[in-house]
Chains A and B, each alone.
Chain A
């Protein structure tokens, strides 16, 4: 199996993936498609939320450890970039890296005791962690407390990673993040770690009996996942010129990680992208165009659609596609492969 992985040939999924990147990279060349439009904003959010959901998918989809605490790592990344710019007057880049590394370290510290819990208990523990970090950051003056951090007006460009005239820079930034995170997950999926993760998900005791160090596997997945979620947080703060605890370290934000992946299909490479591609436009366009109907109508319609989706097919959009007989690239269970 290992030799086979080292000499792995490109699969159909890889070709689709490469083709998709090519199309996405070429989109700004279509006149009037990106610019500074609302359409560009929606595309950027699709790429960002797909990336966030994919980072969550590593630990919760592939490794089966359902986490509601990813907004903590996302928030640490956001504060890394935000503090570099607002508190220290630097470019966001060193803060982005520092935030991501710190998020990975924090994830290890949190996960080590939490992974001793199983199933629902682990999920509940991660809920509590979000609240702890939210309260901590709300009263911690060094990070801006409840006032948050507001960006000054900075010159546009890659150095400061802000643009106001056009969204093309943000679009390529989001695309870069998307390629990185989906690329990492594709790599994990086809290498030893991916097999170990799925083995732990399917049966921890069985995996351990076959020599898999389940603790190390889960911790590595969490560290990867937190690092990548933090990079998304860094992008989010740059895009919004502001960060405060309710924006990034909240159950609301954690639910975005979860909901998008569940909607698209958990533990599936394409699931997060499909979930984001449905959920983000639904959320953004319903808010933009149904607000005039009255308070909350957009949210009611949005909620009903999500409920119908979940009732109709709990496996998400990937499940619907499978029902329709469309090949989704879902890998077969391990025992069948071997």
Chain B
């Protein structure tokens, strides 16, 4: 009996060794890429969607997909058959963990580049690691403008920054005053007190002041708050005409519901892209979410009209997570497509040559609003675009710029008691 157990154990061991040897042999012509996102902690859902988006892009690149009209879909792999292998790591949403995992991915796993890391506060130290090691960091959706103000040579970010979104918000308010006689003179800010929220609020404040608006309320709250009564009470007391919000996920829902409870609304409520643009929020808020606005880089409705090639790719993605792409996750898929296209164009894995291609090329990007990607100083995507949408029965309906507008925005928002 003992002997049989021992033999079974040895057989199992040999089998496992053979399997690993097999995978090592098969792994010869692969390019390992690090995928570094928050997979646990408060941003876990968003992080898992980002990973699924990168996996979707890898699946499209690694296999022949003649039915898809996106770059690299019709061939198998890059550089004549090299397959992309993803090594997934968890930042837990913490900067120190992001930094140590970036080091592990580079030094232990030997990845060629890293894609990540959703939270700006995690992307910063993780990309400092890649920059020191002269490796590429492709950042999809971290929005802090500071990320691309560091003069890094190997860092590239796809999404619009909170600085560009702030300018767009102010531009839109001026447009509303002119074209819809909105009469907006004062601005209030509500934001989570984090790297993302604080940075967005600072940019919003600066843009509003520069355009001559008076900032009458500046309200910070701790992310994951269970109660926003005092914060909304402060807003209500100052009664700003427009509110810029930098609230994520559950905080956004709580903010809207607390305003309903207190029977108060500004004329316009604009939220930064990350947070507002989460399909689950629209579902949770249902009719209460009506007339709230924000920056949007992608929604299925926008995709159907302006990014028609996304739908087929989205099918692969939706099978993994059960929801369509959102503005954040789609940027992470774009990050991998751009990196793969750059390697293919450079014809080599030499990091400096690939970085040079990324810096100097205007890429076709069917998964980006506008269809193009081109990087400027600091590695910021100069073609990054987001449009302003308004929620109408759970749908993100474009309202600005006029070239994208599908309807006239409901401004001022319909008061709670008249809905």
Contacts and interface: CB of A to CB of B under 8 A. Distances in A.
A3 B245 CA distance: 69
B30 to A, nearest CB: 16
Nearest to B107: A36
B40 interface: yes
Contact of A295 (B48, B108, B121): B48
A148 B89 contact: no
A295 B99 CA distance: 19
A241 B195 contact: no
B195 A146 contact: yes
A148 B195 contact: yes
Interface residues of B, number: 37
A296 B121 contact: no
A338 interface: no
The A interface is mostly helix, strand or loop, or mixed, namely: helix
B89 A242 contact: no
Interface in A111-141: 138-139
B31 interface: no
Contacts of B195: 146-148, 244
Contact of A296 (B40, B99, B103): B40
A41 B133 CA distance: 16
Contacts of A148: 95, 121, 195
Interface in B148-194: 150, 193-194
Given A146-B195, A146-B198, A240-B96, A299 B128 contact: no
Contacts of B193: 138-139, 145-146
A131 to B, nearest CB: 10
A153 B131 contact: yes
A145 B48 contact: no
Contact of A241 (B39, B92, B94, B125): B125
B108 A37 contact: yes
A291 interface: yes
Given A146-B198, A291-B90, A41 B121 contact: no
B202 to A, nearest CB: 8
B249 to A, nearest CB: 16
Contacts of B194: 146, 246
Interface string A15-40: 00000000000000000000011100
Contacts of A138: 193, 220, 222
A209 interface: no
Interface string B112-140: 00000000010011001101110000000
- Name the residue in A38, A152, A244 with the highest tally of chain B Cβ atoms < 10 Å from its Cβ: A38
Nearest to B94: A247
Given A291-B39, A295-B44, A147 B199 contact: yes
Given A41-B100, A242-B124, A296-B40, A153 B132 contact: yes
Given A41-B100, A139-B193, A145-B198, A244 B108 contact: no
B125 A38 contact: no
B240 to A, nearest CB: 20
B315 interface: no
Interface in A278-305: 284, 287-288, 291-292, 295-296, 298-299
A328 interface: no
B393 to A, nearest CB: 32
A247 B107 contact: no
B133 A164 contact: yes
Interface string A232-256: 0000100011101011000000000
A202 interface: no
Interface of A: 36-38, 41, 138-139, 145-148, 150-153, 164, 236, 240-242, 244, 246-247, 284, 287-288, 291-292, 295-296, 298-299
Given A151-B128, A153-B128, A299-B40, 19 more contacts: A36-B103, A38-B104, A41-B100, A145-B193, A147-B195, A148-B195, A153-B132, A164-B132, A164-B133, A236-B96, A240-B96, A240-B99, A241-B99, A242-B95, A242-B124, A287-B92, A288-B89, A295-B39, A295-B48
Interface of B: 39-40, 44, 48, 88-90, 92, 94-97, 99-101, 103-104, 107-108, 121, 124-125, 128-129, 131-133, 146, 150, 193-195, 197-199, 220, 222
